């Protein structure tokens, strides 16, 4: 790592795009719990320039093994030489400029899965020559590519070992303190965590705002600035994610799914899902089960 320099400031996070994966604008699309690809395969599609963006729910680890890279994390640019690791938690604004001979891998997973594996409050980090992290990434990908007996247990164990390796490789303090010191981002992360825990019990903004010790108006403002959507939209997207799974993989009726998700009025539940999914729940179920992309 040759050095670092201030490149940009982001006093207003709203213009920064939220992507499921870079180049995929449908942030509500369900993703596999683990995705990996080479840096070369993704970056060459964009002339090796990945513009600043953020992921609302994804945790990424980039392992640079060849070529050169400039990475921007929350307005600070770092010049990287291999070997190097870049850790990017959800909501971190990040972008890359790679040399055309770049080599390495990017692993993407749901941040909630990383937290279930033992992730604490790890901020964005640059880890030069973090060989243990690179080895943990390689083992995780090897198991994902060649599943055997006890695959699910092995995957979770290897993910936990990856998290341990990251925690042991001291992160870069400047980048971490800049991200974690933003109170709005911390509130947004806490709100998203609360939604994951309580979306079946309540959709009242006042309930979530009370838990965070802020006003509903301030919660809505933070949600729009950091998450790119109103607080109610964030809650409804979480409901829709669970509903999509149940529509596709369960035999419950739409009325029963609505009741399980906390909606006593089936007609209202249908209207909410139709608005979020862009189609009626019945059509979504039929399309998904026919093997088509809804």
Q: Which residue, chain included where needed, has tokens 């705002």?
A: 209
Q: How far apart are CA 294 and CA 288, in angstroms?
A: 6
Residue 118 — pLDDT band, cuts 50, 70, 90?
low
Nearest residue to 90 via CA among 208, 189, 234: 189
Q: How many CB atoms lie within 10 A of CB 6?
A: 8
pLDDT tops 80 at residue 263 = yes
Share of residues in the chain with pLDDT > 90 (%): 24
Question: Which CATH fold topology does 3-179 show?
Answer: Jelly Rolls (2.60.120)
Phi, psi of 182 (to 5 degrees): -80, 110
Does residue 162 contact residue 193 with C-beta atoms inside 8 Å? no
Architecture of the structural domain at 182-289: Orthogonal Bundle (1.10)
pLDDT at position 54 is 83
Q: How far apart are CA 115 and CA 108, in angstroms?
A: 14
0.85 cut: is pTM over it? Answer: no
Residue 288 — pLDDT band, cuts 50, 70, 90?
confident
Nearest residue to 198 via CA among 162, 160, 242: 242
Q: Which residues contact 151 (CB under 8 A, 6 or more apart)?
A: 143
Q: What's CA 187's distance to the chain center, in Å?
A: 16
pLDDT at position 19 is 52
Q: How far apart are CA 186 and CA 204, in angstroms?
A: 20
To 5 degrees, how large is the angle CA 272–CA 278–CA 281? 60
Return the SS3 of 27: coil
pLDDT tops 80 at residue 5 = no
Two structure tokens written together for 1: 């790592």
| Domain ranges for the chain | 3-179, 182-289
pLDDT tops 80 at residue 221 = yes
pLDDT at position 153 is 87
Q: How many residues does the chain have?
A: 294
Two structure tokens written together for 73: 């994390």
Determine whether 167 is exposed, middle or buried from the number of CB atoms within 10 Å of its CB (0-12, 13-18, 19+). Answer: middle
Residue 120 — pLDDT band, cuts 50, 70, 90?
low
Q: What's CA 113's distance to the chain center, in Å?
A: 10
Q: How far apart are CA 23 and CA 286, in angstroms?
A: 28
pLDDT at position 267 is 93
What are the pLDDT digits (tens) for 88-107? 988 888 899 999 999 999 99
For every residue of 107-159, which 3-state class applies, written as one string? Answer: EEEEHHHHHHCCCCCCCCEEEECCHHHHHHHHHHHHHHHCCCCCHHHHHHHHH
Q: If you average pLDDT over residues 211-220, what whole number do you get?
A: 89
Residue 115 — pLDDT band, cuts 50, 70, 90?
confident
pLDDT at position 294 is 52
pLDDT tops 70 at residue 34 = yes
pLDDT at position 182 is 62
Q: How many CB atoms lie within 10 A of CB 56?
A: 20
Residues forming beta bridges with residue 175, ordered by sequence position: none
Return the SS3 of 189: helix
């Amino acid at each position: 790592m040759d050095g670092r320099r201030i490149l940009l400031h982001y006093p207003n996070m709203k213009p920064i795009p939220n992507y499921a994966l870079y180049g995929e604008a449908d942030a509500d699309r369900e993703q596999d719990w683990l995705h990996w690809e080479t840096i070369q395969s993704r970056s060459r599609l964009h002339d090796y320039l990945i513009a600043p963006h953020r992921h609302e729910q994804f945790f990424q680890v980039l392992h640079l093994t060849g070529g050169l890279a400039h990475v921007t994390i929350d307005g600070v640019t770092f010049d990287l030489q291999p070997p190097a690791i870049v850790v990017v938690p959800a909501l971190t604004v990040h972008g890359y400029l790679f040399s055309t001979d770049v080599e390495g891998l990017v692993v993407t997973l749901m941040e909630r899965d990383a937290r279930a594996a033992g992730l604490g409050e790890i901020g964005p980090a640059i880890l030069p020559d973090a060989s243990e992290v690179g080895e943990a990434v390689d083992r995780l990908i090897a198991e994902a590519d060649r599943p055997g007996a006890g695959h699910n247990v092995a995957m979770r164990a290897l993910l936990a070992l990856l998290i341990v390796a990251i925690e042991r490789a001291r992160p870069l303090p400047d980048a971490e303190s800049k991200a974690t010191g933003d109170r709005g981002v911390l509130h947004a992360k806490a709100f998203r965590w609360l939604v994951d825990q309580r979306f079946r019990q309540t959709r009242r903004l006042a309930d979530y705002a009370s838990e965070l010790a802020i006003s509903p108006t301030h919660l809505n403002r933070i949600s729009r600035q950091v998450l790119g959507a109103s607080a109610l939209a964030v809650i409804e997207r979480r409901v829709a994610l669970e509903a999509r799974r149940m529509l596709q993989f369960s035999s419950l009726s739409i009325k029963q799914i609505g009741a399980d998700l906390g909606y006593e009025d089936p007609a209202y539940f249908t209207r909410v899902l139709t608005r979020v999914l862009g189609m009626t729940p019945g059509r979504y179920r039929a399309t998904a089960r026919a093997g088509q992309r809804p």
